[in-house]
Structure 1
Amino acid sequence: MRQPSGFVDSHRPTHVYKLQRSLYGLKQAPRAWFQCFSQHLEHLGFVSSHADSSLFTFFDGSVVLYLLIYVDDILNTGNSTDHIARLIQQLRVLFFMKDLGPLHYFLGMEVHRTATGLHLTQAKYITDLLTRTNMLDCKPISAPAISGRRLSLSDGEPLSDITEFRSVVGALQYLLFTRPDIAFTVNQVYQFMHRPTTVHWVAVKRILHYLKATPNHGIVYKPSSFQLTAYADADYAGDPDNHRSTGGYCIFLGDNLISWSSKKQRGVSRFSTEAEYHQLAYTAAALSWYRTLFRELHLPLAPPRIWCDNISAISVASNPVYQQRMRHVEVDYHYVREKVTRHELTVGYVSSVDQLADLLTKGISAACFTFLLSKLPVRGLPVSLRGSDKPVSHKNKDVLSFFAQDVHSYSYIAN
């Protein structure tokens, strides 16, 4: 630290100023800004969410307002346009804010209104990525992974320059916000960031070929019921290097896909039932978090249900007679059994053919991939919707319809 040129104090040239407040651009600024903003919201009657610190809720009789903040970008929605307008005026007393109008673009995600709800895509992001990698004119393919093929550390020759590989895989990670169909393949190539080979780079290019075929695909959200359901699956000992299993889940609120995961499990499972049971525990923990979140949003939820295609894992979750066989399993994995016993969770059987989480655990054939993808709310954007600002009708007044109709975005501008 030194005094700036032209403003040196001749009497104390070695002294520097101690900041009493954070300045925009310093590493302490985001924390100070969030603290200031959240305190003002709480003064206005908002309550910070325990499940997500960036979410604030306001309830006053029949009035419901939700506010979500990410650094200096803000989303605001509710069932009263008058209260929303009043809130913005109150915030502008202390903060200089720009009203960006109805939600169209947020953190790289494009939001398109349809006749029934919202369609979230990252089409521009995909186009920019294909352009940057010189893959804009590549041949499109129908599936991002080869059926039955798992990548290994020993595959291929080490890349001479790993910079591009890391850059592209990092960019693909951001696409997972709206593209669950590539979650498994991106997770697989991400495991080789430290030592990528030519085979791993070919796998990355295959993902880009698939994105070329589906640039406008994204998640569709529409008003639906408040029933939490999940699909959980595990690919037993699928990793050829350390024999760990890959687990995946997808969580639905009604017909809307709200969460998904594809991740290698922490330890090695002795048999397939153990791997599936571990995945049930991971999924149950995720469902518990969502139940806490929706409870804070004052949304009534029935006990959620997990669909699993392994009968033995379902029996372990509900029948203590399997304790002898599973006694080596860590205690925290029996979390799901406790939930089932308390009737806070139910576990049901689903055929492997209809197991949606199968998409997140292994590479499958193009036909199976297309079939399972058709069961997920991942759709291409109709051409007729491009550039359309036509508002949807207000026939359905449930809480989910707020997000489809009255979401506004704002940007805080430092002065």
Structure 2
Amino acid sequence: MKQPPGFIDSNFPTHVCKLQKSIYGLKQAPRQWFQKLTSHLQHFGFRFSRSDPSLLIFQQNNIQIFFLIYVDDILLTGNDQPTIQSLLHQLKSTFALKQLGQASLFLGIQISKSTSSYFLHQTHYAEQLLQTANLEDCRSAPTPITPSKGSSDSSDQLFADPTLYRKLASSLQYLTITRPDIAFATNRICQHMHAPTEHHFKSLKQVLRYVKGTINYGLPLTIGNLQLTSYTDADWASDSEDRKSISGFCTFLGTTLISWTVKKQPTVARSSTEAEYRALAAATTEVLWLRCLIEELQIPQNSPTKIYCDNTSAISLAKNPIFHARTKHIEIDYHFLRQHLDSGYITIHHVTSAAQIADVLTKALPIAQFEELRHKLTIRPPNAQFEGVS
């Protein structure tokens, strides 16, 4: 640090100013702001969620208010308007707040409301992304990624503008917040950000062309039952470079998709059973967290959460306490999964590969199969009919 030009003290040229309070733009400023805001909320009667440190909950008698913070963007909702107005009046005496009414845009996510549902989408964000890539007038693609024919591109020419590639790839990552149908393709693209080639950029452009044709697609939040269900899948040794497997799982609250993950496994699995079992353990971790979170939102899960897997060997291993030499190396995952099976938090069920929704999160699929699973993920245009998960 050094003194700013025009304010240099000639007697103490090497001294710097001492900050009496946090200044916007410094790394410490967001923490100071968060601490001051949450202190006021706790004084009002809020408590921190055990599952999400950015969520504060007020529960008194039959009054429930939820206060979600992302730096200086806030979502506030509850079932008692007078208490909410009292809270806002108290906060306005200390903070410069701007009340924007019903939520319509939050962190780039557009929120459309109907009488029976909400619809989350990122149409404006996708349009800006296409403009950045100069693809706003491109032809659309039916899928974000095509099944590989096994050809290697290791000798492909490096892409001339890796900065543009990284910018577009990271932007696609943010788009997956409401578009899990591009999550697998985006995951593949982001694995080559260190040294993208022309082939990789061609794959990135296909994702953008798919986004062009489905630019107004998004995620519906619908009224229905509030029972958690999860689907988990793995594609064994699918990466031809390091032979690591891809895990994918998605979780529904009733018919509403609320969570999904696409991730390359950290180590090489020596069998398809091991790959599926690791994906099953990861999905269990997510389900346990979601059960805790929604219980704080007064949505208790009175029955075990069903996790659907299409690998009978992995299911048998989860239910069978006998290990042999070929499965000792996954014993930690086994004990973790077995513990929660015995506790009654989860149950594992077989589902056919054709009905495995998580398939779309682990591999490239033909057009017809991709569109069917996209429909089951509930990704659709805003006015399309919604039939629910089958």
TM-score of the pair, normalised by structure 1: 0.88
Paired amino acid for 1:346: T
Contact 2:145–2:206 under 8 Å retained in 1: yes
Equivalences for residues 122-133 of structure 1 within 5 A: 122-133=122-133
Alignment correspondent of 1:329? 330
Partner Cα separation in structure 2 for residue 43 and residue 228 of structure 1: 34
* Residue deviations 1:100-132 (CA, integer Å, cap 9, x gap): 110000101100112321100000111111111
Matched, 1:372 2:373: yes
Contact 1:151–1:240 under 8 Å retained in 2: no
* Residue deviations 1:342-363 (CA, integer Å, cap 9, x gap): 2221000111001000000000
Moved more, 271-280 or 12-21: 12-21
Please state whether the residue corresponding to 2:125 is helix, strand or coil: helix
Partner Cα separation in structure 2 for residue 14 and residue 196 of structure 1: 45
Moved more, 227-236 or 15-24: 15-24
Alignment correspondent of 1:92? 92
* Residue deviations 1:15-68 (CA, integer Å, cap 9, x gap): 433112111121110010001111111111000112111000000010000010
Alignment correspondent of 1:176? 176
Q: CA RMSD in A?
A: 1.7
Paired amino acid for 2:142: S
Shift of 1:73: 0.4
Equivalences for residues 81-120 of structure 1 within 5 A: 81-120=81-120
Paired amino acid for 2:367: A
Alignment correspondent of 1:274? 274
Alignment correspondent of 1:245? 245
Equivalences for residues 2-401 of structure 1 within 5 A: 2-9=2-9, 12-149=12-149, 154=154, 156-301=156-301, 302-382=303-383
Identity %: 44
Partner Cα separation in structure 1 for residue 276 and residue 152 of structure 2: 23
Partner Cα separation in structure 1 for residue 104 and residue 189 of structure 2: 31
Please state whether the residue corresponding to 1:90 is helix, strand or coil: helix
Paired amino acid for 2:320: N
Partner Cα separation in structure 1 for residue 28 and residue 105 of structure 2: 27
Partner Cα separation in structure 2 for residue 149 and residue 95 of structure 1: 58
Shift of 1:297: 2.2
Partner Cα separation in structure 1 for residue 3 and residue 147 of structure 2: 63
Shift of 1:134: 1.2
Moved more, 182-191 or 145-154: 145-154
Partner Cα separation in structure 1 for residue 43 and residue 110 of structure 2: 33
Please state whether the residue corresponding to 2:89 is helix, strand or coil: helix
Please state whether the residue corresponding to 2:380 is helix, strand or coil: strand
| Equivalent residues, number | 383
Please state whether the residue corresponding to 2:98 is helix, strand or coil: strand
Partner Cα separation in structure 1 for residue 77 and residue 281 of structure 2: 33
Moved more, 18-27 or 172-181: 18-27
Q: Structure 1 residues 5 and 148 mapped into 2: Cα distance closer, same or farther (>3 Å)?
A: closer
Contact 1:149–1:363 under 8 Å retained in 2: no
Contact 1:162–1:196 under 8 Å retained in 2: yes
Partner Cα separation in structure 2 for residue 86 and residue 75 of structure 1: 16
Shift of 1:156: 2.3
Q: Structure 1 residues 150 and 53 mapped into 2: Cα distance closer, same or farther (>3 Å)?
A: farther
Contact 2:54–2:70 under 8 Å retained in 1: yes
Please state whether the residue corresponding to 1:98 is helix, strand or coil: coil
Please state whether the residue corresponding to 1:99 is helix, strand or coil: coil
Q: Which runs of 5+ in 2 are unaligned?
A: 385-390
Paired amino acid for 2:362: T
Alignment correspondent of 2:388? none
Shift of 1:159: 1.6
Contact 1:151–1:188 under 8 Å retained in 2: no
Contact 1:281–1:334 under 8 Å retained in 2: no
Please state whether the residue corresponding to 1:67 is helix, strand or coil: strand
Partner Cα separation in structure 2 for residue 5 and residue 157 of structure 1: 47
Shift of 1:149: 4.8
Please state whether the residue corresponding to 1:306 is helix, strand or coil: strand
Partner Cα separation in structure 2 for residue 355 and residue 99 of structure 1: 43
Contact 2:162–2:196 under 8 Å retained in 1: yes
Partner Cα separation in structure 2 for residue 161 and residue 316 of structure 1: 48
Contact 1:55–1:68 under 8 Å retained in 2: yes
Partner Cα separation in structure 1 for residue 150 and residue 318 of structure 2: 30
Q: Which runs of 5+ in 1 are unaligned?
A: 384-415
Shift of 1:333: 4.6
TM-score of the pair, normalised by structure 2: 0.94
Partner Cα separation in structure 1 for residue 97 and residue 151 of structure 2: 48
Contact 1:155–1:199 under 8 Å retained in 2: no
Paired amino acid for 2:264: K
